[in-house]
Amino acid sequence: MRLSKFISSSGYASRRKSDLLIENGFVIVNNEVCRDFSTQIKEGDEVIVENTKITLPGPKIFSFYKPKNCLCTSNDPSGRKTIYDTLDPKYKNLISIGRLDYKSEGLLLLTNNGEISRFYELPKNKIYRTYNVDLIGDFKNSNLRDMRSGIKFKGIRYGGIIAKLIKIKGERFTLEMLLTEGKNREIRNIAKYFKWNVLKLKRIQHGEYKLSNLKPAEIKEEKLSEKILNLVIKTNE
């Protein structure tokens, strides 16, 4: 297995961060600093990253209810709360699959395997994410057609979004929105395009995993699908 993939598969860091660690000389293979991303790691090789010996645990995936007003990062220079402040310390090395912004809440998938994270985040894999969004503003049925066709806002093109109206009362309404792209602050920017204010944004499903009855800050281990095991875990080249 290539060195960068070995590190990301261990859950120590994402593929991108693994590359940076290697490039900057923080990785030691068999007692020598290694800056070659393509170095093949064989059984019995010792890999140390930032003074931590790396091994490959069994791949796992978790559903976590990210509370509102916390970040999907390990630390924040401004001192804001992160998801790792709410998680039990035994989960501190889990990687978040994608992100939810500070004010958003709901289902966040976590994993101990960087290749699983990468699979879910690659746009070409078209992993759907579903959100319930409470909004206030002037809603028209034509807005749903516009979203399905794709819109452009502040120079950014957003691909088709499948949305349906869940409920409406006066200027307050709730949409269920299904996305595949996951561009930064996509839903909030689309709301701005239509001059809507977001009251609540909650992810309720990511791929095959659903939020179900999880409560804020709760976590549970999920079963990895055979598809993921076959396409990600067993592909070591």
Residue positions annotated with a catalytic role: 101
Q: Whole-angstrom Cα distance, residue 132 to residue 135?
A: 10
Please name the amino acid found at residue 39. Answer: T
Q: Whole-angstrom Cα distance, residue 122 to residue 125?
A: 6
Non-local (6+) Cβ contacts of 176 within 8 A are: 130, 131, 132, 133, 163, 164, 166
Please name the amino acid found at residue 141. Answer: N
Q: Whole-angstrom Cα distance, residue 17 to residue 6?
A: 12
Q: Whole-angstrom Cα distance, residue 112 to residue 68?
A: 23
Tokens of 168: 């409406």
